[in-house]
């Protein structure tokens, strides 16, 4: 008999956050989150996403033991402004027992029906900046801090329960040495001259902050045409600035300006924190922070997190300027491998950007959908 209980107290939410630590204990590929960061994400008083979204967190128990979890999420911007009657679900983990996954998803479906929603999709987070998708290929590759890892049986559970593929995402990698300057050095000079553009680089985080709001605005403009896009609100901008900007090496943030110093493109790269997070095992103190700081300074792997280009400058070769700046930074830091975050399979434009670098798709993930 499976018992589903809503996690509402601090103790229960901590059980919710810590369940994957036991499910993936000993896995060389699972990357644990920082427990306190996860708890803050679910705190309605700290995370501004709850101004426009509701979430409830559920735990599954069998014989008194925690065997699964799921977050049931409604993003009201998506529902009311975009008219997408979607019930979201995420942070979805469970043992290899279909009765567990079925009971959790039934609870999500109940909430969707109570809110007159039409379908459910997951695993997804609150917005486009959250983790997304069930891993369906690449189980023998280490995860990242910005993706979920899961056991191979997850997808089969969803399909057995009547869910169908909604979106597919690709994760690609390439050796940094593949970013041969011959592909962009000459053309980036032409592009800069033709459109009167110039790169803006940083060495100090405090110099990035004044540009952060413009970067988030450009992110909204750049990605608004993609499926399931939910814009970042002004309050969320402040939250993200405080929580994430200081976590990113300033030299890994690249901006492109026009002749009037308007921001027309940006890119964010992060050092890989995967192995450092595994060593930290969910805790910053007493030693986890040192592993993360060491990775921030010395990691030879990087993750291309975001690239945003103003719509009127897309398909004009602006990425050549961005790549030229990163090539100089990566050469100086002796970066060895570049990874890309999950990208929609249908996003051929982003795939064209990377075609000269010999990318290899090493992971695939999906979201699944079911009508309510």
Does the pLDDT at position 162 exceed 80?
yes
Of 360, 308, 318, the residue nearest 339 (C-alpha): 360
In this prediction, residues 133-142 reach a mean pLDDT of 98
Q: What is the pLDDT of residue 361?
A: 96
Are the C-beta atoms of 85 and 77 separated by less than 8 Å? no
In this prediction, residues 273-282 reach a mean pLDDT of 97
Give tens-digit pLDDT for 353-370: 888 899 999 999 999 999
Instruction: Report the share of the chain in percent with pLDDT over 90.
Output: 83
Give tens-digit pLDDT for 91-104: 999 999 999 999 99
Pairwise CA distance, residues 203 & 221, whole Å? 26
Coil, strand or helix at 202: coil
In this prediction, residues 229-249 reach a mean pLDDT of 83
Does the pLDDT at position 227 exceed 70?
no
Q: What is the pLDDT of residue 228?
A: 63
Give tens-digit pLDDT for 78-94: 999 889 999 999 999 99
CB atoms within 10 A of CB 257: 16
Does the pLDDT at position 176 exceed 90?
yes
Are the C-beta atoms of 100 and 106 separated by less than 8 Å? no
Pairwise CA distance, residues 249 & 347, whole Å? 27
Are the C-beta atoms of 87 and 94 separated by less than 8 Å? no
Q: What is the pLDDT of residue 128?
A: 77
Does the pLDDT at position 134 exceed 90?
yes
Does the pLDDT at position 229 exceed 80?
no
DSSP 79: I
Q: What is the mean pLDDT of the chain?
A: 94
The residues, any chain, with a CB within 8 Å of residue 143's CB and separated by 6 or more, are 29, 30, 31, 149, 274
Strands 198-200 and 253-257: antiparallel
Quick one: CA torsion of 170, 171, 177, 180, rounded to 10 degrees?
Answer: 30
Coil, strand or helix at 253: strand
The residues, any chain, with a CB within 8 Å of residue 330's CB and separated by 6 or more, are 176, 179, 302, 338
Q: What is the pLDDT of residue 181?
A: 86
What is the dihedral sign for C-alpha 313, 314, 319, 320? negative
Pairwise CA distance, residues 214 & 209, whole Å? 10
For the chain, domains (ranges, CATH) are 2-171 (3.40.630.30), 174-363 (3.40.630.30)
């Amino acid at each position: 008999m499976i018992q589903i209980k809503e996690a509402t107290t601090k103790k229960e939410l901590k059980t919710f956050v810590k369940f994957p630590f036991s499910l993936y204990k000993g896995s060389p590929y699972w990357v644990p989150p920082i427990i306190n960061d996860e708890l803050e994400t679910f705190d309605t008083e700290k995370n501004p996403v709850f101004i426009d979204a509701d979430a409830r967190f559920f735990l599954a128990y069998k014989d008194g033991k925690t065997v699964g979890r799921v977050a049931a999420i409604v993003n009201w911007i998506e529902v009311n402004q975009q008219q997408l009657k979607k019930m979201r679900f995420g942070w979805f983990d469970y043992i290899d027992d279909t009765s567990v996954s079925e009971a959790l998803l039934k609870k999500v479906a109940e909430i969707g029906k109570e809110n007159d929603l039409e379908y459910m999709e997951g695993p997804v987070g609150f917005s486009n900046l959250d983790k997304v998708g069930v891993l369906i290929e690449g189980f023998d590759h280490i995860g990242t801090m910005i993706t979920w890892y899961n056991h191979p049986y997850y997808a089969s559970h969803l399909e057995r329960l009547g869910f169908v593929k909604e979106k597919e995402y690709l994760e690609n990698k390439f050796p940094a040495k593949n970013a041969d300057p011959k592909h962009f050095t000459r053309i980036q000079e032409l592009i800069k001259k033709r459109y009167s553009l110039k790169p803006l680089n940083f060495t100090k985080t405090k110099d990035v902050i004044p540009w952060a709001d413009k970067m988030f605005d450009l992110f909204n403009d750049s990605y608004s045409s993609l499926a399931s896009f939910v814009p970042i609100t002004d309050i969320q901008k402040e939250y993200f600035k405080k929580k994430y900007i200081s976590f990113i090496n300033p030299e890994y943030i690249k901006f492109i300006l026009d002749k009037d110093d308007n921001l027309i493109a940006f890119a964010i790269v992060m050092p890989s924190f995967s192995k450092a997070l595994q060593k930290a095992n969910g805790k910053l103190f007493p030693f986890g922070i040192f592993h993360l700081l060491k990775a921030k300074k010395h990691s030879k792997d990087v993750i291309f997190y975001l690239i945003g280009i103003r719509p009127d400058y897309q398909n004009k070769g602006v990425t050549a300027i961005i790549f030229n700046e990163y090539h100089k930074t990566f050469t100086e830091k002796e970066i060895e491998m570049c990874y890309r975050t999950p990208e929609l399979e249908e996003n051929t434009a982003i795939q064209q950007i990377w075609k000269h670098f010999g990318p290899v798709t090493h992971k695939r993930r999906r979201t699944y959908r079911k009508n309510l």
